[in-house]
Amino acid sequence: MRITWLLEVADQLWGGVKVALEDANWLHRRGHQVTVVSRSKAPDWMRLECPFVQVSDFRPEHLPDGDVIVGTFWTTVPWSASAGASKGVPVHFCQGYEGDTPENAALRDRIESIYRLPGVHHVTISSHLTQLLRDRFGIQAHQVTYAIDHAVHHPGPERAPGTPLRIGLVGPYGLAWKDLATGYAACKLAHAAGQKLVLVRASNVPQAPAERDVPFPVEWHQQLPPARMGDYYRSLDVLLATSSGGEEGFFLPAIEAMACGVPTVLTDVPCFRDHAHVVGHGDYALFVPPKDPAAMAEALVLAGALPEVRQGLRRGGLQVAAHYHPDRHGAQFEAVLQEIVRTTGAKPSLRLVSPSVAEAATEPIVRQLRTLADRMQAAGAAVASARMLAAAQCLLPDDEALRLAAAERWLLAGDARAALRLVDDLVERGVAHGMLHQLRGQALHALGDLRAAALAFRAGMTAGPRSADAWNRLGVVLFQAGDVTGARDSFVQALALQPDHGDARANLASLPAA
C-alpha cells in the first residue's frame, strides 16, 4: 500500500506523535510505501526510516498519491477527508478525543463537526474511545491494540523500596486534564506525614512556576529521548498517573512503567480500567479517585512500603504490558488499512484538468444545454431545467461544477433524492468542500432526515465558510429535530455574522423562551 501520514508537528516529543512515527517505520519495514508529511521539521529525537516531507499546508498538491491518507489529530482530518481519491482513502487514527479537553472548549463545535465528516474511516486504540465515538457520533470504528517498545521497556531486577521513595510523574504540567497539580498535592501530603520522597519528573516542556516551590526534592528530566525512558522508569519505586477523566486516550507511560516492573498508582478513569479486559482482573495497579490527593498519598505509601503489594503490582503490570506489543499492533493496523482499501473501492478522482479532445467536442452541446436550462428555470419550468442539466452532466460526467449545478436544480425542482444521488457520488469520489456539504444538507433536510442534515450542515461549515445562511439553515434543522438550545445558538451565530439577516432574526424571535 501507499500510505501517507499527516502530522501537524513531528519534531516535538508527544506520545501520539511517537506512536504515529513508530507505526510509519513499522509499515515501511513491512514493505509498504510510507510517507510522513508535516508542517514541522523531521524529528531529531528518533530515527525515521521512511520518506519525510515538510509542507506549509496539507493541500492536495503538496501530498503524494496514495491508497490511504491518515490524519492523526483533529486539525489534520479535514485535509485527509478533502484530499481527493487519488491521495487515498481518508483514515482518522484516534488516540484520544480532543473535544472534551478544557483547553479546546471554544473549539468543541468545530471538533465535533470534523468527527462527523462523511467518508472518513476511524481507527481507535482503546475500547472506551471506540464506545465514545459510537455513542456520540454513531461511528463504527476499527479498534487496534496499542503498543510499547519492549526493547526499551523491559523489567530490571525487583527493587526494594528506596529511602527516599522515588515517585515518577510524567507529562506537561500545563494540561488541565493531566492534573499533575493533584500529584504534587499528594506528594506534599505524604511528605508532611513523614514519608521521605523525591519526585522524579519527566516532561517534554520546561518546568512550570507552580512546580518549583515544593517542600521535597524534585529530580527534573526534560525531553528524554524515547530510547532512554526505560532507564527512567527502572529508577523509580512507583509511578503515579493523575489523569482526571475520559480525555486521556491511553497514557503510554503507565504501560511503559508496568513493562519495566514498576508498581503504579492510577486514577480510576476509563483508559486505565480498560486494561482489565486484557488480563481479566484489576490487580495491576492501585486505583484512586481522580483529584483526590489524600487517596493518592495513601496509595503511594502502600505501593512504596509493603513488599507484598509491590510484588503483586509488579506481576499484574508485567502481565498487562505483555499484551501491548508492536508486532501485534502493527499487524492489526496493517490489516485494518488493507480492509478499508479493499472494501471502499474508491472511484478515480475527478479530472479537474484541461478537457480531453473528446470532451472539447461536446462542449458546444453542453453550453447549449446549459443555456436552455437557464431559460427554462427563468420560465418556471424547474423540472425541465433540471433535466437539461442532467443531460449535460451525462456528456461531461467528470465535471464537478456541472454535477453540483445539476444537484442544485433537482433540489429546486423538488426531487431531493436525485440531488442527493449526485452529491453522494461526489463524496464517494473524494470531493469535500463547503458547498457540497451544504447541498447535501439541503437534500437530506428535504427528505426529512434531520439528524443527517444537521451533520451535513456542520460538515459544510467545517470545510467551507461559516456564513449567516449556513448557520440559519442549521438552526432550522436543529429546531425541527427538537434541539431548541442548539437552534438558538445557531441563529445567534448567524446574527453575529450578519445582524440584518431577516430569516435568522425571525427564527430566533419565534423560539420559545429559554
For residue range 34-43, what is the model confidence (pLDDT) as tens digits?
A: 999 999 999 9
489 shares its domain with 501: yes
Residues 240, 177, 174, 224, Cα dihedral to 10°: 40
| Kind of pairing between the strands at 286-288 and 165-170 | unpaired
Q: Say whether both 468 and 483 belong to one domain.
A: yes
Give the E-state strand segments of 138-237 in sequence order. 142-143, 165-170, 197-203, 218-222
In the three-class reduction of DSSP (H, G, I as helix; E, B as strand; rest coil), residue 257 is classed as helix
> Which cell numbers hold the place of 75?
486539525
Here the contacts of 379-382 (C-beta below 8 Å, separation 24 or greater) are 382/409, 382/412, 382/413, 382/414
Calculate the dihedral angle through the C-alpha atoms of 439, 442, 443, 448, rounding to the nearest 10 degrees. 160
* pLDDT value for 93: 96
Q: Are 95 and 19 in contact (CB under 8 A)?
A: yes
pLDDT of the residue at 89? 95
Half-sphere exposure of 233 (CA within 13 A, CB side): 30
- Residues 397 and 369: beta-carbon distance below 8 Å: no
**Dihedral pair phi/psi, residue 287, rounded to 5°:** -100, 140
385 burial level (CB within 10 Å; 0-12, 13-18, 19+) = buried
Same domain, 53 and 171: no
Q: What's the rounded Cα separation, in Å, for the pair 333 and 292?
A: 37
Q: How far is CA 347 from CA 87, 338, 341, 452, in A?
A: 12, 16, 11, 23
What is the chain's mean pLDDT, rounded?
88
Report whether 59 contacts 81 (CB < 8 A). no
Phi, psi of 308 (to 5 degrees): -65, -35
Cα gap 165→483, rounded to integer Å: 54
Residue 408 and residue 448 share a domain? no
Domain boundary among 323, 340, 365: 323
Instruction: Judge if 445 and 416 occupy the same domain.
Output: no
Domain-located, residue 58: yes
Residues 139 and 238 in one domain: no
Q: How far is CA 340 from CA 36, 115, 248, in A?
A: 20, 18, 27
Q: Do residue 122 and residue 265 come from a single domain?
A: no
Q: What local confidence, expressed as pLDDT, does residue 405 receive? A: 87
Q: What is the pLDDT of residue 360?
A: 52
Q: Can you give the pLDDT at residue 358? A: 44
Task: Select from 242, 354, 251 the least CA-distant residue to 297.
Answer: 242
Give the helix ranges, DSSP H, for 345-483. 357-378, 382-395, 400-412, 416-428, 434-446, 450-463, 468-480
CATH code of the domain containing 388: 1.25.40
Out of 431, 456, 475, pick the residue that ends a domain: 431
Residue 331 falls inside a structural domain: no
Grid coordinates of 417: 433524492
The model's pLDDT over 191-215, given as tens digits with 9 standing for 90+, comes to: 999 999 999 999 988 999 999 889 9
Q: Count Cβ atoms below 10 Å from residue 86 Cβ, excluding itself.
A: 15
In a domain, 381, yes or no: yes
Averaged pLDDT, groups of 10, the chain, 514 residues long: 95 87 94 95 92 94 95 92 92 91 83 88 92 93 91 89 89 90 97 95 91 94 92 96 84 93 94 85 93 96 88 94 90 94 64 43 71 85 84 74 86 89 80 80 91 88 80 91 90 91 91 78
Same-domain pairing of 421 and 444:
no
Number of domains the chain contains: 4
| Domain carrying residue 406 | 352-431
Q: Are residues 18 and 46 in the same domain?
A: yes
Peptide bond connecting 164 to the previous residue in cis, omega within 30 degrees of 0: yes
Are residues 383 and 463 both part of a single domain? Answer: no
| CATH classification at residue 63 | 3.40.50.2000
Q: Coil, strand or helix: which one is 60?
A: helix
The answer, as to whether pTM is greater than 0.85, is no
Helices (H) and strands (E) in the chain, counts: 21, 13
Please tell me whether residues 366 and 258 are part of one structural domain.
no
Residue that terminates a domain, selected from 399, 431, 463: 431
Would 346 be classed as within a structural domain? no
- 391 is written with which cell numbers? 443531460
Cα-based torsion angle of the residue sequence 368, 370, 376, 381 in order, rounded to the nearest 10 degrees: 130
> Is there a single domain that holds both residue 455 and residue 419?
no
